[in-house]
Structure formats: structure tokens, C-alpha cells
């Protein structure tokens, strides 16, 4: 079983309009609602890849009720922890004319110390059956900035490998707790290390504690700095569509490769193909299976150098 943690879950709402024009009214052609938050998207992709997945984190209020109702018929098992505050909403506005997406994200509910303690108890119980755990997304108000570092240490204590996908100070502190893998994007990696040269920044992040680092380079693909080597993986051509959730599909592919024991080039090829196939899908947590199968053998994976 693969466990995904989303401390700041969300109800993802997607509006599609003919063309998004500032300062005007729009008729919304299509409305979609999905249970969201990075870890929930990861779990749904993992389930589609054939892996048992369980989601945990916080959920509450009327929005949280809708989220759980939408999650109930899906393959990821719901192990979310209830709280008093209301789950946040995120709104993606898709411009059908250009394919561009405008994202609006609420901050999330305030979590109390008692609710955090209840979550830690649930997390430690779930770790007993976990083959790997992904720690994903932003922290809701009320959660201390070292929360992911604490969760990494608790997983390490029972031998469960961890993947960390967050940003800012939670990423900095989380990496110091020595996760097995960190997956920042290029901007997050630059803010962490002060370097905008991805290879130098990835090596720096490893020196700070991450066992391996896979950096998302946007349309250029992925850069991986690992104990076994350094690779760059690139799609055969840029794809256009809704990029929401593409990074979450990278996380799912990397987790699947980890538990399956695949070599790094295979993990990265899967991750790039799955990310591109997600851009071509209508909503986060989904991917175009035909596009994935077509893209996978065309991904280029190049070994750059020995890891420092």
C-alpha cells in the first residue's frame, strides 16, 4: 500500500470558458468538481496504475462532506481525519481558446493542536501497512512549519521510504529530515538553494539531506540527482492543455517506480510520459491512457554525469 498525505485537501472546481478576458463576465460552458489536493491527485493516479493507495490528511465542513462523497466511489481508500474547519476550494479557469489555465487557491482551514495530535496517531497507524509515503502540498493554517520534517522522521523510524513534495520553509525543514526523495520544481529548488542552475541546485539539495532529488523543469522534463547517477528526461515534444496535476502524476510515477524497484531511467521515463498525458486530460488526478502509452517509448532519458 502507498500512503499519500495531503494536510491541506481541497475541492477542486474547474470552469471552462470560450476565452478568458479580464474585466468581463463569462458564461461557463463546463463545470467539474473533483476531490483535490496534491496527495489525493497522486493517489488517484496510483490507483489507475494498479497500486493500492490510501489518502490521509484533514477534511471538514460542508465542502469536506462534498469532497468525501466524490472520493467514496474512487479507488483510493479514504483515511482522512475530520476537523471543525471547512476544507478549502480551488478554482481552475480553463481558457478553451488558448488552453491556458488560471488557478485560484484558498488558504485552507485552521487546524488546532488537538486535531494535529489526532492526525499523528492516525498517521502512525497507517504507516504500519505502508510500502512508501508521499507528503504533498501546502500546510494549512495552524500547522507548524516543521510538520513535514516531523512526518519524515516518523516514517524513517519505522523504515518507510518518503517522498516530499512541498515548497518554501516546509521544504527546507523537510529536506533536513532526510527524505528518500524530494520533488521540487525549478523555482522551488532555486528558492531553496539560491541557485538557478538546476544541476547545481539539485546537488545542493542532496547535501542538505535529501537522498535523491527530482526537479520538474516544466516543458523540458525532469532532472534527477541520485546516489546512482544524474539523469535528464525530456518529452518528445511540448504538449498543450491543462497543466494542473501534472506534477502530481510525476510523484505517482516516481512512487510506483520506487515500490516496484525500477531503475532510475525507467522511473523518469514513466514520470515524464505520465505528466504529459495528464496535461492532455481534462482534470487533475486523471491522465490520457492512450497518450501515455504512445509517449512512453519516445521519452528521452540521458545520463548527465556521476552524482556528486
Active site positions, annotated: 248
Nearest CA among 119, 106, 143 for reference residue 3: 119
Strands lying side by side in the sheet with 10-17 = 30-36, 10-17, 88-95, 101-105
Angle between helices 264-279 and 246-260 (to 10 degrees): 150
Q: What is the DSSP string of 231-285?
A: EEEE-SS---S--TTHHHHHHHHHHHHHHHT--HHHHHHHHHHHHHHHHTSSSTT
Do 196 and 212 contact (CB within 8 A), yes or no?
no
Dist CA 99 CA 101 (whole Å): 7
User: How far, rounded to the nearest angstrom, does the alpha carbon of residue 178 sit from its chain's CA centroid?
Assistant: 18
Which residues, at least 6 apart from 60, have a Cβ–Cβ distance to it below 8 Å? Answer: 82, 83, 84, 85, 86, 87, 109
**Kind plus residue range of the DSSP H or E element containing 104:** strand 101-105
**Which cell is 280 given?**
492532455
Do 232 and 221 contact (CB within 8 A), yes or no?
yes
Q: Which residue has the cell 516543458?
A: 219
Amino acid at each position: 500500500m502507498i500512503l499519500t498525505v495531503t494536510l491541506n485537501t481541497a475541492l477542486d472546481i474547474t470552469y471552462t470558458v470560450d476565452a478568458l478576458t479580464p474585466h468581463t463576465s463569462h458564461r461557463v460552458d463546463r463545470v467539474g468538481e473533483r476531490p483535490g489536493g496534491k496527495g489525493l491527485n497522486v493517489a488517484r493516479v496510483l490507483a489507475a496504475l494498479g497500486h493500492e493507495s490510501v489518502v490521509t490528511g484533514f477534511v471538514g465542513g460542508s465542502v469536506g462532506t462534498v469532497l468525501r462523497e466524490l472520493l467514496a466511489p474512487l479507488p483510493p481508500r479514504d483515511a482522512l481525519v475530520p476537523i471543525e474547519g471547512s476544507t478549502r476550494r480551488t478554482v481552475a479557469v480553463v481558457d478553451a481558446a488558448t488552453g491556458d489555465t488560471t488557478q485560484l487557491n484558498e488558504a485552507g482551514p485552521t487546524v488546532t493542536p488537538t486535531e494535529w495530535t489526532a492526525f499523528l496517531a492516525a498517521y502512525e497507524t497507517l504507516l504500519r501497512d505502508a510500502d512508501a509515503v508521499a507528503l504533498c502540498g501546502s500546510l494549512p493554517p495552524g500547522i507548524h512549519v516543521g510538520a513535514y520534517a516531523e512526518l519524515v522522521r516518523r516514517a524513517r523510524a519505522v523504515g518507510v521510504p518518503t517522498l516530499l513534495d512541498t515548497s518554501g520553509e516546509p521544504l527546507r525543514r523537510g529536506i533536513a529530515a532526510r527524505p528518500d526523495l524530494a520533488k521540487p520544481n525549478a523555482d522551488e529548488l532555486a528558492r531553496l538553494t539560491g541557485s538557478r542552475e538546476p544541476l547545481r541546485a539539485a546537488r545542493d539539495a542532496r547535501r542538505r539531506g535529501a537522498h535523491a532529488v527530482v526537479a520538474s523543469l516544466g516543458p523540458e522534463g525532469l532532472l534527477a540527482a541520485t546516489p546512482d547517477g544524474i539523469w535528464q528526461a525530456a518529452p518528445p515534444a511540448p504538449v498543450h492543455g491543462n497543466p494542473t496535476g501534472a506534477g502530481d502524476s510525476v510523484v505517482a510515477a516516481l512512487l510506483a517506480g520506487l515500490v516496484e524497484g525500477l531503475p532510475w531511467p525507467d522511473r523518469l521515463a514513466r514520470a515524464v510520459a505520465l505528466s504529459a498525458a495528464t496535461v492532455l486530460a481534462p482534470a487533475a488526478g486523471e491522465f490520457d491512457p492512450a497518450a501515455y502509452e504512445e509517449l512512453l517509448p519516445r521519452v528521452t532519458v540521458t545520463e548527465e554525469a556521476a552524482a556528486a
